[in-house]
Amino acid sequence: MTILKQFLTLLFCCIFLFLNAQNEKSGIFKIYIHIEPELVTEINKKYTDRKFLSEVSTSAVFPENLLDSIKVISELSLSSKFSSEVECIYKKSKKGKVLSTIGANGELEGMPVNTLKNAILTNDKDQYISISAYITSGGKKAVLDPKWNSKVKPMIKVFVKVQDVDKKVIWKKDAVLQDFSELRSVSRTRGTIVRTKRETLSPEDIFIMYELALSEVLK
């Protein structure tokens, strides 16, 4: 009878801890994804005789559904990892407008952007999560045949940090993936115009790279 009682007590404690873990709530207050412009610029024209507005570039537009998918895969992956209810949380203006990244200087737009201090002050969560991702050429460039002048090999680094309400770091990890296909580029000069055409990462490529790297971090 004593053994049964001890077993039932232990079982009750396990159930209590499990349910408590399931009730924990976490917020992703920052997703910063920076993409090296060279990897997404399809065509670039540089006018060597101009001091202002000397460059014109063409890049693919990142569709709204893939921006949403990045946030959703982040929430689902972190929920599974930490057995917690995870959602993106946003900073708001004084008028109540949701603020997010604007997509300047290689930064992916529409992502939650906040400081840890403000996130804690304006939300009631048990943990606060920040994600940083950098997609770069890895510094590798090689000369090819006359048709294609050079090639670069893209890579991605993702860093995830989890903090509690006292700003204490309770978990952090990063991962680097670089086993991706090389991208080629060619430059031609005509008079004062230098025209560069590149193989680029598509929005779908960027999403897949992020998903793979995040999965590697959370292993």
In this predicted model, what pLDDT tens digit does every residue of 106-152 receive, in sequence order?
A: 899 999 999 999 999 999 999 999 999 999 987 555 444 444 456 67
In this predicted model, what pLDDT tens digit does every residue of 163-203 receive, in sequence order?
A: 999 999 999 999 999 878 666 545 555 565 555 555 778 89
Residue 32 three-state SS: strand
Max distance between CA atoms of the chain, in angstroms, equals: 94
Residue with tokens 């998918």: 69
42 within 8 A of 198, measured Cβ to Cβ: yes
Instruction: Give the separation between CA 88 and CA 110, rounded to whole angstroms.
Output: 11
Using CA atoms, how far residue 81 sits from 17, 60, 78, 161, 167, in Å, is 16, 33, 5, 13, 20
Parallel, antiparallel or unpaired: strands 41-47 and 55-59:
antiparallel
DSSP state of 84: S
